[in-house]
Amino acid sequence: MGITGFITSVVAPIFIILSPITSYADQTYSIYQNGSSAGFSLDIPLIMLVASLLRVFYYPGAKFDICLLIQSFIMIAIQLVLLKVALESRPLLPSRNGHPAEPFSSSKGEAITKSRPYNFWQWRSPKPYWRFILYLLISLIAMELLLSPIYSLYSLYSATIGVLGLSVEAILPLPQIISNHHSRSCKGFRLSVLASWLAGDLMKMFWFFTTTSEIPWTFKFCGVFQMCCDVYLGVQYWIYKEEPCREIMREHELGSWSNQRSQTWLSTPR
């Protein structure tokens, strides 16, 4: 076995399986240690949870490489932990004239993002976040049970959720790119995450185009797009490294929701 074959058959699969941990463990610990998720986009856990769940249910119809399936399960676990820590660490916003400050407000008190329909993924309470994930999981299980006996419909359904899941994952860097652009800073987003994204992109591209395993073309196309976005995120780091320190945008309007963490579920020493 040559060096290329060894990397393709051994190193790349192991790297891909462990990439969720190497990518997000440091970000999770940093948020917990600092007690604030300011500057970190909560859309990242949303995107990765939705994409990973869709990929898991895409597997029965596509039968892609088992490494990608294992990675999806690990990604779901680490993103659930990251979401919990980020929600517990959201900064409380000061009020202006007795009124709560706007979500994603700048240091001048100006709103820098618009509210979403039904305040989706901008809720004050943590409960709607977990409820959404649970409802999505239940819906995917129900669709799997209903459509799997009907081959013609199931093939179309499987292909649809596969493309949808990969497309969702491909836009992963966009919320952070937008966040950095509005705040004119990359503070709050760990350089280690970006480095692991770029390393993962290179490894995935190498594996996708050299492995003898069956890799659907959608994986390759979405992987290339995501790599381009990650490269631009790296450009942002270079552009903003000399920017004067500014207040990082806040992640959500919290109102009276308390972020006391004295009874935190994590036992990691601070």
Q: What is the pLDDT of residues 101-110, one digit of tens each?
A: 333 333 333 4
Environment class of residue 206 by beta-carbon count within 10 Å: exposed (0-12), middle (13-18) or buried (19+)? middle
- Overall average pLDDT of the 128-135 stretch: 97
Give the tens place of pLDDT for each residue, 166-180: 889 888 888 889 888
- pTM confidence score: 0.74
Q: Which domain holds residue 147?
A: 3-90+108-240
| Furthest C-alpha separation in the chain | 70
Give mean pLDDT, residues 123-138: 95
| Domain count within the chain | 1
On whether residue 261 sits in a domain, the answer given is no
> CA 158, CA 59: separation in Å to the nearest integer?
8
Q: Give the confidence band of 231 by pLDDT, cuts at 50, 70, 90.
A: very high
pLDDT of residue 37: 86
Asked if residue 56 lies in contact with residue 49, where contact means CB atoms within 8 angstroms, the answer is: no
Tell me which residue of 129, 128, 105 sits closest to 179, measured CA to CA.
105
Residue 268 inside a domain? The answer is no
Q: Does residue 266 form part of some domain?
A: no
Single-letter amino acid code for the residue at 43: D
Are 51 and 169 in contact, with CB atoms under 8 Å apart?
Answer: yes
CA dist., res. 91 & res. 250, Å (int): 7
Between helix 43-62 and helix 66-88 the angle, nearest 10°, is 160
| pLDDT at residue 1, rounded to an integer | 59
Does residue 142 lie in a domain region?
yes
Q: DSSP letter at 117?
A: G
The partner residues of 254 in beta bridges, in order of sequence, read: none
Report CA 193 to chain centroid distance, whole Å.
Answer: 11
Higher pLDDT, 242 or 60: 60
Please indicate, yes or no, if residue 76 is contained in any of the structural domains: yes
**Residue 263 belongs to a domain:** no
When pLDDT is cut at 50, 70 and 90, the band that residue 158 belongs to is very high
Count CA atoms within 13 Å of residue 219 on its CB side.
Answer: 21
- Mark 87-117 as b/e (b = at least 16 C-beta within 10 Å): bbbbbbbeeeeeebbbbbbbeeeeebeeeee
Query: Does residue 29 have a pLDDT over 50?
Result: yes
Site of tokens 């992987």: 223
Residue 62, pLDDT > 70, answer yes
Alpha carbon distances (Å) from 194 to 46, 88, 118, 152, 243? 18, 23, 31, 41, 19
Least confident of 8-12, 33-37, 159-163, 171-175: 8-12
Where are the strands (E) in the chain, listed by range?
none
Note whether residue 53 is domain-resident.
yes
